[in-house]
Amino acid sequence: MQYDNSHIRRQDRLLEEENARALLRTGEYGFLSMAGENGGGYGVPVNFAWDGDRAVYIHCAPQGRKLRCLALCPQVSFCVVGRTHVVARKFTTGYESIILSGQAHALSDPDERRHALRLILEKYAPDDLETGLKYADKSFHRTAAIRMDIDTMSGKCKRVD
């Protein structure tokens, strides 16, 4: 994965790579944006887990609009927004965010799907991991997963007192 902020217009608002990676690791949710089935775009908020390297995993149903869109065009964008802080008296907002670009694919390999579900459970339910893994096994037949292979990531922030 290449961390590239060169295209950001406001170079004074760059998010340091270390902070961008922390946001990717801990962000509560992200927005997956893709080409729509009939032209236009389609974006959806999703829970996700990063593998610590080059992939983001998302779980979903085995059928649906996300998978239909990805089958037509796997090129996607993924945005995670961290802390925000509206400062009304200054007519501005403090924020931090990252944008990833890459390709996303539905996973067909059962072992990789289990790996994806485990990463998601480790992130969102670490204290209930064993129970979550049993639940994932029980509902495995009705759960799909997507892997987004990250090509580039950029990050931006605005610090406001």
| pLDDT top residue among 49 and 1 | 49
Rounded to whole angstroms, the Cα distance separating 26 from 17 reads 14
Q: Report the number of distinct structural domains present in the chain.
A: 1
Domain range enclosing 152? 2-158
To the nearest whole number, what is the mean pLDDT of the chain? 94
CATH of the domain at 124: 2.30.110.10
7 pLDDT higher than 90: no
- With a CB cutoff of 8 Å and minimum separation 6, the contacts of 86 are 92, 93, 94
The model's pTM? 0.92
